[in-house]
Amino acid sequence: MATKRLARELGLARSSTRARSSAGAAPGQRFGYLIVLDFEATCWGRAERRVPEIIEFPAVLLNTATGEIESEFHTYVQPQEHPVLSDFCKELTGITQNQVDEAVPLNICLSQFWKWIQKIQREKKIIFSSDVPSHSNSEAKLCTFVTWTDWDLGVCLQYECKRKQLRKPDILNSWIDLKATYRTFYNRKPKGLSGALQDLGIAFAGREHSGLDDSRNTARLAWRLICDGCVLKVTKSLDKNTDYKLC
């Protein structure tokens, strides 16, 4: 309690308080929930160029009416193509060789992730865009994914699944690129996730390049955009003949 009281005195809880004191639900928002993803993947110094494999798979569920993170999924992933992490990768991400050696491969990770999706769908009455035509429950809350840039879902997961012939959930084929949304809404180019938060007077919480901490901070940024009046819309889809434009 003392920490929350101090935060209020310092003005750090201002945006959250402002949003909760308004309409109770985010005005004009299409999505009642957002699932924020930020993968960490194998990487090397500039002299070495190899295809990345996911080694940390986090997801956080953000309620767009309250700004609360209501559920989290997190697991480390065992790389198969290049199982030994580079020193560069370990230093950047903080992930150890032992953590990935004891982790599950990507196909098991995706299965576990899908079970988590089904669990929150039941508990929160969440649906995705593909469910809308056949779903008649008026209490259902629409949900989509959020990433910082298109790399996580449009490049990293997409091509790794193709190389390994893995089936990923179709709901991962569309998402909100929060970096592009931020640039359009505030009319300025952010210097990374941490820079975007800093520009808005928000301190990055945790360790940069920790997938889970990056996901949580991206969720905090999404909440700030909502508080500032941005209506979040899907910006990218891998489905054919679908084109999304930022407002």
- Report the pLDDT value the prediction gives residue 135, as an integer from 0 to 100: 52
Q: If you search the block for the tokens 């060789």, which residue do you land on?
A: 97
Query: Residue 67 in contact with residue 19, Cβ under 8 Å?
Result: yes
- Report the pLDDT value the prediction gives residue 132, as an integer from 0 to 100: 59
Half-sphere exposure for 164 (CA within 13 Å, toward CB): 21
- Report the pLDDT value the prediction gives residue 131, as an integer from 0 to 100: 65
What is the maximum span of the chain, computed from C-alpha positions, in angstroms? Answer: 55
Q: What tokens were used for 43?
A: 């990487």
Q: What are the Cα distances from residue 77, in Å, to 14, 96, 105, 235?
A: 37, 11, 5, 28
Q: How far is CA 231 from the centre of its chain?
A: 17
Beta bridge partners of 33: 63, 143
Q: What is the reported pTM?
A: 0.86
Domain ranges for the chain: 2-237
Active-site residues: which are they?
A: 40, 209
- Report the pLDDT value the prediction gives residue 240, as an integer from 0 to 100: 63
Task: Report pLDDT digits (tens) over 130-147.
Answer: 765 555 566 899 999 999
Q: Which conformational region is residue 132 in: left (phi greater than 0), alpha (psi within -120 to 50 degrees), or beta? A: alpha
Question: CA–CA separation, 87 vs 120, rounded Å?
Answer: 37
- Report the pLDDT value the prediction gives residue 24, as an integer from 0 to 100: 35
- Report the pLDDT value the prediction gives residue 237, as an integer from 0 to 100: 95
CATH of 2-237, one of 3.40.50.720, 3.30.420.10, 3.90.950.20, 3.30.390.10: 3.30.420.10
Q: pLDDT under 70 in the chain at which residues? A: 1-27, 131-138, 240-247
- Report the pLDDT value the prediction gives residue 26, as an integer from 0 to 100: 65
